[in-house]
Amino acid sequence: MSHPQLVSAARPSYGYIVSFHDLHPTPAAFREEVVAGLRRPRKAIPAKFFYDQRGSALFDEICQLEEYYLTRTETALLENHVPEIATLLGEDVLLIEYGSGNGRKTRILLDCLPNLAAYVPVDISKDHLLAAATDIAQAYPYLRVTPVCADYTREMAFPDFEEFPYRRRVVFFPGSTIGNFTPDEAEDFLRHAADVAGPPGALLIGVDLKKDPTVIDAAYNDKRGVTAAFNLNLLHRINTELDADFDLRAFEHRALYDPVQGRVEMHLVSTQPQTVRIGDEVFTFAEGETIHTEDSHKYDLAAFQAMAGRAGWTVKRVWQDSLQYFAVCLFTLAPQSVA
Ligand code: AVJ
C-alpha cells in the first residue's frame, strides 16, 4: 500500500492512444535494403521485413503450431511467474516493449503490474503497431498507451517520456526476438536497452536455449508449411510493394539448425536458374542459389547472462521450464553510484 493515491479513483481514463511517436523508416529504406542485400555475393534480406500484415498473421499462426515450442513455453513461464515479476518490478513502471506482436504476452503483464505509468510499444510496422496499441488502450482504459514507430535494429533517439511520472523504466523483449541479431548485435542491443532503461531500470527478456537439434529443426520446418509460407511471403511483399516479379513457385523454404554456430539459418532457395526484376534492377539466380532471410540464435543460458553482464546488466532472476527449452530473464541496472 505504498501509493494509495494512485488507485483508480484518482486516475484518468483514456481508452485511446495518448500520444504517438513516429520515427518510421521510409519505404525507400525497404527498397534500398532489399536491393543492397540482393547485390551481395551471398544474397540476404533482413528478417525485420517479414512483418507486413500477412507476415504478422502468418507469424501468429506459427506461434500456435505444435512444433513451435517457443511461444507456449514462454507464455506459461510468464503466466506462472507474473506475481513474482510484478513484485520485483514494483509500482509506477514505464513499460517499453520492443516488437509489440499480438499483445498476448503483454496482457499477462498488464493484468498484474500495479499502477503502470505508461505502456510504450515499439515496432517497425506502423499499421500493426497502431492496431495492437489501440486494442490494448481499449482493453486497459486507465493505461496511458504511447506507441513509438521505429526500427530498433538501427540507431534511434528514444523519446524521453518525461511527461509521465514513473519510478523505473522496464524494457520487455519477449519471444527470443533477440535471436535475430548476431551475438555482437545482440550485445549492442542489450547496451542500447540499458541506455533506454537507465538506472534503476530493468529488462525482462525471453531467450530460446540450445537443445536437441531435432526439436529445433521441427520448429522451423512445420508439417503444415506455415513457416514456409511465412518465409515466401517476403517475396510476395517485395512484389507488391516494390514492383518486382519474383515467381513464388520457383523458390522454396529451407531452415536448418547449425549446432556449432547455435543458430537456425533460414533461406529461400532458387529451384532453377532465373532472373528477377525489382523496379529497373535485374538480379540473376543460379539453380540452388539462396537468399538468406533469417538467423535465429539459440543461447547457452550462462553465455547469455555473461553477455548481458558485459552490456551493464545484473541478473536479478531467471525462470525456466522443466525441459530447459526457454528462459525468461529479469536483469536490472544498479542505481548510479554517486561519483
Ligand atoms: C520472432 C525471431 C523469435 O526466430 O523463432 C519463427 C521468427 N522465424 N519461425 C524465431 C520465426 C521462423 C522467430 N522470432
Task: Write down all domains in the chain, each with its CATH number in brackets.
Answer: 43-64+216-297 (no CATH), 67-211+299-337 (3.40.50.150)
How far apart are alpha carbons 127 and 147 in whole angstroms? 11
Average of pLDDT values for 264-291? 98
Would the CB of 176 count as within 6 Å of ligand 1? Answer: yes
In the reported structure, the alpha carbon of residue 44 is separated from the centroid of ligand 1 by a whole-number distance in angstroms of 16
In percent, how much of the chain has pLDDT > 90? 79
pLDDT at 158: 81
Strands (DSSP E) contained in 39-198 are 93-98, 118-123, 148-149, 168-173
How far apart are alpha carbons 257 and 168 in whole angstroms? 38
Quote the cell numbers at residue 27. Answer: 519505404
Alpha helices in 261-338 (DSSP H): 301-310
pLDDT at 4: 40
More confident residue, 116 or 153: 116
pLDDT at 321: 98
User: 332: Cβ–Cβ under 8 A, 6 or more apart, which residues?
Assistant: 200, 201, 202, 203, 313, 314, 316
Among candidate residues 67, 30, 54, the one with its CA nearest the CA of residue 151 = 30
Mean pLDDT of all residues belonging to the chain = 92
How far apart are alpha carbons 28 and 233 in whole angstroms? 19
Average of pLDDT values for 302-320? 98
Would the CB of 332 count as within 6 Å of ligand 1? Answer: no
pLDDT at 24: 72
Quote the cell numbers at residue 173. Answer: 523483449
Average of pLDDT values for 245-259? 98
Would the CB of 179 count as within 6 Å of ligand 1? Answer: yes
pLDDT at 96: 96
In the reported structure, the alpha carbon of residue 70 is separated from the centroid of ligand 1 by a whole-number distance in angstroms of 9
How far apart are alpha carbons 79 and 294 in whole angstroms? 29
pLDDT confidence bin for 336, thresholds 50/70/90: low
Would the CB of 295 count as within 6 Å of ligand 1? Answer: no
Three-state DSSP state, 275: strand
pLDDT at 152: 83
pLDDT of 304 over the 80 cut: yes
Least confident of 108-112, 150-154, 228-232: 150-154
> For 187-239, what is each residue's pLDDT tens digit?
999 999 999 999 999 999 999 999 999 999 999 999 999 999 999 999 999 99
More confident residue, 126 or 32: 32
User: Ligand 1: which residue has its CA nearest to atom 5?
Assistant: 296
The Cα diameter of the chain in Å comes to: 69
> For 49-101, what is each residue's pLDDT tens digit?
999 889 989 999 999 999 999 999 999 999 999 999 999 999 999 999 998 77
In percent, how much of the chain has pLDDT > 70? 95
Three-state DSSP state, 263: strand
CB contact at 8 A, 202 and 315 = no
Provide DSSP, 116-148. Answer: -SEEEEEES-HHHHHHHHHHHHHH-TTS-B--E
pLDDT of 102 over the 90 cut: no
pLDDT at 69: 98
In the reported structure, the alpha carbon of residue 236 is separated from the centroid of ligand 1 by a whole-number distance in angstroms of 19
pLDDT of 43 over the 90 cut: yes
